[in-house]
Amino acid sequence: MLPSTCTATIPNRRALITLFSRLRTSDGQSDPAPFYARLRESGEILPAPWGGHLVNSYRLCQQVLKSRQWLVPSREWRTRDNDASRWNSPSFLLMNETLPMQNPPEHTRLRRFLGNMFNGGVLDSLRPVIQRAVQRQLDHYMNRLREGPADFVTHVSEEIPVVTIGEWMEIPRADYGLLRALTHDQVYTQELFPTASEIEVSDAATARLRFYFADLVQERRRKPGTDPVSLWIQRWDAIEPERDTADSTIHSIAIFMILAALETTSHLLANVVRLLLEHPDQLAQLQENDELIPDAIEEVLRYDAPIHMISRVAAEPTELAGAAINAGEIVHLMVGSAHHDPTHYREPHLFDVRRRLGGPAGHLSFGAGIHYCLGSTLARLEAEVLLKALLPLPLSRLQIAAPPQWAPRVAFRRMTTLPLALN
């Protein structure tokens, strides 16, 4: 661990608004590191122009995520906020029902009910599913490349997660494209400042997701199987006498699984390829020694996490690095900044597959504390299988054909295109 730095001059409100406006553009998302550096230079914690605080250092982000004194902005908190029209939209109401938006004791109850969904046995059963999906998509993609440049996101990184979670939940393959598109539209609601038109898009996607999974739950009631949805129904019925309440809970869990599994994992898979092609020396090291694959995956997660901002609210009056925080006040944890904090990582600007992060605890890409991501092991497995299939290929012939395109966001990263070509 390196020594921490002192707080610098706090930028004015207008400067911060300008910075976030630029960060939220596609160009800003193509290289957010300079924006995060500016935040860190201004201090570990800053007043946010819209209220609350921005937390920029690894030390403080980790501290907040691990502390029971900090809560997720739940339905109760949102009803006290001024932006009632935003929080009462159907898409936000759906998110309020999901596991990440619950605080104890409801979070404890749901988490205990779900258990360790992706334990060793489940991962072992999913590995051949992922291997088949990876091989099928890579074969298809390499054939497309022989005809000219092709988008890795469309043909590979967005396909593997939906096939994996779809086969696990026994969702019809014909519905994969629909669920992928609805996920992209619904995620607007989880951004920092969605526009009115984005909330409308998210609300429409939410309505279709609710209808789809309500229908799926009813189908599994009529024809139960050994799939997770059928098992959730069986287990929840044992503890919830009201059928409508049980069904509502199960279909919220199912929606959450889709939302959590697709975009974030697709970003990880596309980033694995992008970063290795941008750093051929690191790719060469992996090809020489595939035992570095686990470290490489953790470094990809650190260098450019799928989620760059997480919000928490104070359960009671407290202090954070000298800043007084009122009960119910929100802080935005700038995880993207924390992962490039030079007081925590040596030379964080370097992408290094030999970096020893100490495993999952070496970054905050999947959160920390009681809200640590349930699907982290599955995402890592998908990345591992993809890398093992890629490394024997003649990757030295692959090149990035055009700059990747990025969705204009702040919290959730999404690479919309990664055009590659054979050299």
Q: Which residue in 31, 12, 11 sits closest to 22, CA to CA?
A: 31
**Predicted model pTM:** 0.93
Whether residue 370 has pLDDT greater than 50: yes
Whether residue 9 has pLDDT greater than 60: no
Q: Which residue in 235, 232, 233, 307 sits closest to 267, CA to CA?
A: 307
Strands 53-55 and 398-400: what pairing?
unpaired
Q: Among 95-104, 148-157, 217-226, 274-283, which is the least confidently predicted range?
A: 95-104
Whether residue 97 has pLDDT greater than 80: yes
Whether residue 8 has pLDDT greater than 50: no
Residue 269 CA to residue 287 CA, distance in Å, equals: 17
Q: Among 72-76, 108-112, 302-306, 319-323, which is the least confidently predicted range?
A: 72-76
pLDDT of residue 185: 93
C-alpha torsion 261→262→267→270, nearest 10 = 110
Average pLDDT, the chain: 91
Looking at residue 396, the DSSP 8-state letter turns out to be G
Look up the CATH number of domain 14-422: 1.10.630.10
Whether residue 2 has pLDDT greater than 80: no
Q: Are 118 and 377 in contact (CB under 8 A)?
A: yes
Task: Name the pLDDT band for 400 (thresholds 50, 70, 90).
Answer: very high
pLDDT of residue 94: 85
How many CB atoms lie under 10 A from the CB of residue 365?
25
50 Cβ partners below 8 Å, 6+ apart?
Answer: 193
Q: Could you tell me where the DSSP H helices lie in 192-324?
A: 196-222, 228-237, 243-261, 263-278, 280-288, 293-303
The CA-atom distances, in angstroms, between 70 and each of 39, 82, 87, 130 are 22, 21, 20, 37
Helix (H, G, I), strand (E, B) or coil at 4: coil
pLDDT of residue 82: 60
pLDDT in tens, 173-215: 999 999 999 999 999 888 888 888 999 999 999 999 999 999 9
* Mean pLDDT within 121-133: 96
pLDDT of residue 5: 38
Phi then psi for residue 172, to 5 deg, are -55, 135
Whether residue 7 has pLDDT greater than 50: no
pLDDT in tens, 242-280: 888 888 889 889 999 999 899 999 999 999 999 999 999
Q: Are 58 and 364 in contact (CB under 8 A)?
A: yes
Handedness of CA 213, 219, 222, 224 (dihedral sign): negative
